A = this chain, B = another copy of it.
C-alpha cells in the first residue's frame, strides 16, 4: 500500500509541496557499499532545473540537494551507502506564492485543483502542491542513486515530438541531446522546435510532447509475469509523471497495426554464442521480463495547463467564473520531463534487479555458455 512511495525493494518515498519549506525523498532498500558523490546527484538535478533557457519556466531554484542519512564518507572521497535509508532534502527558496493568490478559489482547467479539493476537502493552492512539477526533482535525485545499483546500464531520454513536429529518427544522435534546450536527438529538428516553441511561448500558450527513453545494457531476466511485469511497472512509473497521458513499450500503439509476421523479433546466435534478436519490436521486454535487447519506452505529455487565454471554470464557492494563469510556467512541460523519465526508469530497473536477486538468488545471466 502506498500513496507516496514507489518501488518494492528499492523504495522511494517523496514528500513536499511546491511552495512549502522543502521537498525531499527517502530511498529505502538501497544496497550497501555503493559509492556516489553529491556532485553526481546535483548534476542530475541540474539537467532538470528550470530557468536554463527561455523554453522552461523562469522560476529560479538552485535545487541544492543535501544527504541527511544512509551514507558514510568514503575514504577515497565521496560517499558510500550503508544499507540504511538515504534521505535527500532540497529546500525551497523561490516561493513566490503571491502569483497564486488570486487563483486560490477558482479551479484551473487541466490542473488537479478540483480533484484535490473534492478528494481531501482542503488543498495547498500554491503552485499545485504535490502535483507541481517541482516534486519531480526528488525523483531525479533518487534516480541518481538508483543508477549506482546498475553498473553497465545506461538510461537515456530524448524528446521525439513537440506538438505537431516529430523528429526524423534517421538522424538520431544521442550526442546531440545535450547540445540543445529540447533534449532533441535530431539536430535538423532543433530549429523547427525553436521557432515553433517561441511562437507558443509568446502567445502565452503551451503544447504537448512525446519523450522516448532507452535503457541499454539491461541484463535479460528482470521483471516477472503478470502483476510485476517490467513493462507494467514502467507504465505505472511513467504515467505517474505529471501531465503524462500515455505510455508505450517498443512498437507500442503501432503494434496494433502490425501482423504477427511483421512484429516477430527473430533470434540468432551472435558473438560468443550469445542469443540476440534481429529486431526489437518488443522494446526489450517479453512476458514482462527483459530480453537483453534495449528497453524502449515512450510517454506522452499533455500541454501545460497554465495558459494566458481565459478559460471558463467554477470556483470553490460554487460559482461560474473565468481564469487565466499569470505564473511562470513551461510552454512545453514535456521538455523537463526527460530527466524525470530517465530517473523513473533507473528506479524501476534498480527495484527489479533487487527483486530478481531476491527470488532467484543471483543476478540474471545470459543463458548459454560464452566463449
- Number of A interface residues at 8 Å Cβ cutoff, please give it: 165
**Does A207 count as interface, using CB distance less than 8 angstroms?**
yes
Q: Considering the complex, give the chain B residue whose CB is closest to the CB of A32.
A: B120
Q: Considering the complex, give the chain B residue whose CB is closest to the CB of A283.
A: B245
**Does A49 count as interface, using CB distance less than 8 angstroms?**
no
Q: Is A278 in contact with B312, judged by CB distance below 8 angstroms?
A: yes
Would you list which residues of chain A between 269 and 311 have a CB under 8 Å from chain B? 269, 273, 275, 278, 281-283, 285-292, 300-307, 309, 311
Would you list which residues of chain A between 121 and 135 have a CB under 8 Å from chain B? 121-124, 129-131, 135
Q: Is B246 in contact with A249, judged by CB distance below 8 angstroms?
A: yes
| Chain B residues in 8 Å Cβ range of A235 | 232, 235-236, 238-239, 247
| Chain B residues in 8 Å Cβ range of A85 | 3-4, 13-16
**Copies of the protein in its oligomer:** 4
Q: Is A68 in contact with B22, judged by CB distance below 8 angstroms?
A: yes
Give A240-262 as 1s and 0s: 1 = Cβ < 8 Å from B's Cβ atoms.
10001111111111111111111
**Does A188 count as interface, using CB distance less than 8 angstroms?**
no
| Chain B residues in 8 Å Cβ range of A281 | 302
Q: Is A11 in contact with B2, judged by CB distance below 8 angstroms?
A: yes
**Does A105 count as interface, using CB distance less than 8 angstroms?**
no
| Chain B residues in 8 Å Cβ range of A258 | 163, 207-208, 302-303
Q: Is A84 in contact with B114, judged by CB distance below 8 angstroms?
A: no
Q: Is A26 in contact with B4, judged by CB distance below 8 angstroms?
A: yes
How many Å lie between the Cα of A321 and that of B245 in the bound state? 41
| Chain B residues in 8 Å Cβ range of A231 | 239, 244-245
Interface hit among A55-63, A173-181, A356-364? A356-364
Residue in B72, B80, B124, B320 whose CB lies within 8 Å of A84: B124
How many Å lie between the Cα of A223 and that of B221 in the bound state? 26
A287 shortest CB reach to chain B, Å: 2
Q: Is A32 in contact with B122, judged by CB distance below 8 angstroms?
A: yes
A198 shortest CB reach to chain B, Å: 14
Beyond A15-B26, A357-B357, whether A206 also contacts B259 by CB under 8 A is yes
15 contacts between A and B (CB under 8 A): A3-B225, A15-B28, A17-B70, A24-B87, A29-B358, A33-B122, A89-B89, A115-B221, A116-B225, A118-B292, A163-B256, A256-B300, A260-B306, A356-B358, A357-B358
